[in-house]
Chains A and B, each alone.
Chain A
């Protein structure tokens, strides 16, 4: 059970305090309810580029990193399709430094032309390093475009193309900031060696007078239900053929999410999972195979991907995957197999919760989803899943008309 206290400032900023006196550190986690899905289709990659600009100085503080480092702190940030998260860890004595820095960033950025210019270049290098240079690096771009026709999940957080980032202007940056980076669109978690009183006092002092702004109402084009299977072939200079398949799955807020999460573990979660055992070890069709899902807030994708053993035909490999899926669609799995993936999930949650930082991020995440208290009900939701649920959901999801397949062929 993770204990916490929650209050809301008059400008709408939600604040959560989680005390843990066993650490000498304090953690501040600010999650903004904005991700790549909130971008304009012609200006993609913006939420992420913006995350970089958040370190280019704020209206009263020219350099963000330096004072934090003097205070013995460390920070970082990440952007997903759903949200943007900023986190700091520092010695608890210097907690106020975190308040000072983060509140000024929420108040306003410096909007410096030079910083924009540099970060455009840095992000372009990141784009190249992670998506262009790497073998198979473009596959999830292509998969998203194949699986989503309307919903903005059809592009990656890094952006659809380099030019969107290269063309970003200071005006774009400003309007993005004042639309999304507002107290009403944020959740702040302060955790570690802190007291509720002190956090209240500091939150009022540093964040209390930031104008609330207008709450961003998300109104995204919804993805129509997929009616027919989609397939694509990519040929590239890669050493091995690879197979990628995805299926649409329920949103994070749907009860069936937990069923699919466990299902993905049954199929592809480690050494005793079905796909690995059957296709890598017994049939030797794949050199590696995995099953996972995107963890998206809205309707997401369940994915299976693997690289083929040299000489194996893609059609045969795909057929073999279908056979494994047919088994979970036709027969109720044994209770003991379900218990196994539930046990794994339980220990994964316990291991994650060992770190204060991870607990703080989880609280912010669940509060952004709807309620921080949900964090404490996760395990019960997994426990409630039955073998019949697994059967039903396998049948729902693994339909041809719900599937997207990419054959990634080696040119060599």
Chain B
């Protein structure tokens, strides 16, 4: 008979050697840097064009996001429909996204179709017209979508807490209104496009089964374009003065969206990697203190999480949950109780080992396939870090002590430093 009470021997994940497969780097004739990871068994490619064209660069709200959105909606030669049809016909997915520092065009495709697709991506970068008609449709539909979103307490809470943390004028804190959409002018978008895409700063990332002539291909389509080296604009953070806020968005709402957050430095700060371990213990996974207490013990919520925001210049430590309307205050009390325990009691050996193993297993599982490997590299490169960051993070997970974690909790998990918001 087997002893079912006895766990099989477990190999500690902290003993694993984790390696981040290195990238190849080359530079196109015009100075554009390309990072490429050749991996995976499937004949697929992920190609990404990253422009320094994020929200930080705009002088007026929504100009960056709207320009980015309209990239796919018409060029000198093609209508939005024709563009979509071309990418669809080759079974590819063309997406664009606008972030704070950067804005991207992303292409997922089978490797064998890449030659059919790159010329059209070039056209999006050189010859988009951002049609006025498309802008009108976009304004109308986005205003409608915003109206629906504003009914959701989690959406409202997410906007407000960022505004408290960074200020409404900061790219990380500003949010959109119907008036902002109405105020968009076609010429502003065209100016933004000319400055930040046609002649902007471009970095490229490619992952998957790389064609042998990749460098030549990219040089053909992107190596002759007049890109430049535009820096990302910096804006000063302005903290809100009011720290505790309660808002009723929907008087009939059954749940409250709770956000508790404090400012936190970026990835270059010596505490950042250690804080990732403390965060995991606190609210970063299913077995975390917050989850065990507030979901698994009390049943106040379907889920509660804490995390460090993924920002380049300045981050924040955030606790986020949706809880029953009448247990919101009780849930908040428990969050502070868990902070207090972390400040006062060093984490015991078993729990710390569990967190180490969980985090290592997570990284191991996350390095699955070329797209994930590239995502890690991209994060490192865009944050102006190098591979040392990856290996430091692993060493931190392996070696951080209970005392260091406690000291970190004492330094950062202080209720007075946190903004606290409930939106019902």
A-side residues, CB < 8 A to B, are 22-25, 59-61, 65-67, 69-74, 89-91, 93-94, 96-97, 99-100, 103-104, 107, 117-126, 128-129, 132-136, 205-206, 237-240, 270-272, 277, 280-281, 284, 287-288, 307, 309-310, 336, 339-340, 343-348, 350-351, 353-356
Q: Are A60 and B4 interface neighbours, CB within 8 A? A: yes
Query: Does any Cβ of A come within 8 Å of B312's Cβ?
Result: no
Q: Are A70 and B10 interface neighbours, CB within 8 A? A: yes
The 6 nearest A-B residue pairs measured at CB: A72-B361, A121-B299, A271-B84, A72-B13, A347-B91, A343-B91
Q: Are A94 and B10 interface neighbours, CB within 8 A? A: yes
- Selected from B81, B85, B108, B299, the residue in CB contact (under 8 A) with A118 is B299
Query: Does any Cβ of A come within 8 Å of B8's Cβ?
Result: yes
Query: Does any Cβ of A come within 8 Å of B158's Cβ?
Result: no
Given contacts A125-B302, A340-B88, A347-B110, 18 further A-B contacts (CB under 8 A): A72-B13, A72-B357, A74-B361, A104-B4, A107-B4, A121-B299, A123-B302, A134-B152, A136-B148, A238-B148, A239-B147, A284-B137, A307-B144, A307-B148, A346-B110, A350-B44, A350-B110, A354-B44
- Selected from B10, B41, B298, B361, the residue in CB contact (under 8 A) with A22 is B41
With the chains together, A12 CA to B419 CA distance in Å? 56
B-side residues, CB < 8 A to A, are 2, 4-5, 7-13, 16, 40-44, 72, 80-81, 83-85, 87-93, 108-110, 137, 140-141, 144-145, 147-148, 150-153, 250, 252-255, 285-287, 295-302, 322-324, 353-355, 357-358, 360-362, 364-365, 368-369, 371
With the chains together, A272 CA to B302 CA distance in Å? 38
| A25-B368, A91-B361, A271-B84 known; A70+B353 contact, CB < 8 A | yes
Distance in angstroms from A113 CB to nearest chain B CB is 13
With the chains together, A123 CA to B353 CA distance in Å? 31
Tell me whether chain A's interface is mostly helix, strand or loop, or mixed: helix
With the chains together, A74 CA to B364 CA distance in Å? 11
With the chains together, A89 CA to B364 CA distance in Å? 10
Q: Are B90 and A343 interface neighbours, CB within 8 A? A: yes
Which interface residue of B83, B151, B297, B298 has the most chain A CB atoms within 10 A?
A: B151
With the chains together, A66 CA to B285 CA distance in Å? 11
With the chains together, A198 CA to B148 CA distance in Å? 53
With the chains together, A99 CA to B109 CA distance in Å? 37
Nearest A residue (CB) for B370: A354
Question: Can you list 22 residue pairs at the A/B interface with Cβ under 8 Å?
Answer: A60-B5, A69-B354, A72-B360, A89-B365, A91-B364, A100-B4, A100-B7, A107-B4, A122-B302, A125-B255, A125-B302, A284-B137, A287-B140, A287-B144, A288-B141, A336-B89, A344-B91, A347-B91, A351-B44, A351-B108, A353-B42, A354-B40
Nearest A residue (CB) for B324: A125
Q: Are B361 and A128 interface neighbours, CB within 8 A? A: no
Q: Are B324 and A270 interface neighbours, CB within 8 A? A: no
With the chains together, A356 CA to B254 CA distance in Å? 39
Distance in angstroms from B127 CB to nearest chain A CB is 18
Q: Are B287 and A100 interface neighbours, CB within 8 A? A: no
Q: Are B254 and A65 interface neighbours, CB within 8 A? A: no
Q: Are B8 and A96 interface neighbours, CB within 8 A? A: yes
Distance in angstroms from A159 CB to nearest chain B CB is 14
With the chains together, A281 CA to B324 CA distance in Å? 40
Q: Are A354 and B369 interface neighbours, CB within 8 A? A: yes
- Selected from B12, B42, B93, B253, the residue in CB contact (under 8 A) with A133 is B253
Nearest A residue (CB) for B363: A72
- Selected from A93, A121, A271, the residue in CB contact (under 8 A) with B88 is A271
Q: Are A66 and B287 interface neighbours, CB within 8 A? A: yes
Q: Are A355 and B369 interface neighbours, CB within 8 A? A: yes
Q: Are B148 and A135 interface neighbours, CB within 8 A? A: yes
Q: Are B369 and A125 interface neighbours, CB within 8 A? A: no
Set of chain B residues within 8 Å of A339, measured between Cβ atoms: 89
With the chains together, A349 CA to B40 CA distance in Å? 15
Set of chain A residues within 8 Å of B44, measured between Cβ atoms: 347, 350-351, 354
Set of chain B residues within 8 Å of A345, measured between Cβ atoms: 91
Tell me whether chain B's interface is mostly helix, strand or loop, or mixed: mixed
With the chains together, A100 CA to B6 CA distance in Å? 9
Nearest B residue (CB) for A56: B296
Q: Are B140 and A125 interface neighbours, CB within 8 A? A: no
| A125-B323, A240-B148, A343-B89 known; A356+B368 contact, CB < 8 A | yes
Distance in angstroms from B204 CB to nearest chain A CB is 20
Set of chain A residues within 8 Å of B371, measured between Cβ atoms: 354
- Selected from B84, B145, B147, B368, the residue in CB contact (under 8 A) with A272 is B84
Q: Are A135 and B152 interface neighbours, CB within 8 A? A: yes
Q: Are A340 and B85 interface neighbours, CB within 8 A? A: yes
With the chains together, A310 CA to B141 CA distance in Å? 10
Q: Are B80 and A281 interface neighbours, CB within 8 A? A: yes
- Selected from A133, A136, A281, A347, the residue in CB contact (under 8 A) with B255 is A133
Set of chain B residues within 8 Å of A310, measured between Cβ atoms: 144
- Selected from A122, A205, A346, the residue in CB contact (under 8 A) with B301 is A122
With the chains together, A205 CA to B3 CA distance in Å? 11
Distance in angstroms from A65 CB to nearest chain B CB is 5
| A22-B41, A350-B44 known; A118+B298 contact, CB < 8 A | yes
With the chains together, A109 CA to B152 CA distance in Å? 37
With the chains together, A367 CA to B314 CA distance in Å? 49
Distance in angstroms from B182 CB to nearest chain A CB is 14
Set of chain B residues within 8 Å of A103, measured between Cβ atoms: 4
With the chains together, A74 CA to B140 CA distance in Å? 43
Q: Are B85 and A272 interface neighbours, CB within 8 A? A: yes
Q: Are B324 and A239 interface neighbours, CB within 8 A? A: no
With the chains together, A132 CA to B253 CA distance in Å? 9
Nearest A residue (CB) for B144: A287
With the chains together, A37 CA to B322 CA distance in Å? 29
Set of chain A residues within 8 Å of B297, measured between Cβ atoms: 118
Set of chain A residues within 8 Å of B254, measured between Cβ atoms: 128, 132-133
Set of chain A residues within 8 Å of B110, measured between Cβ atoms: 346-347, 350
- Selected from B13, B40, B147, B357, the residue in CB contact (under 8 A) with A240 is B147
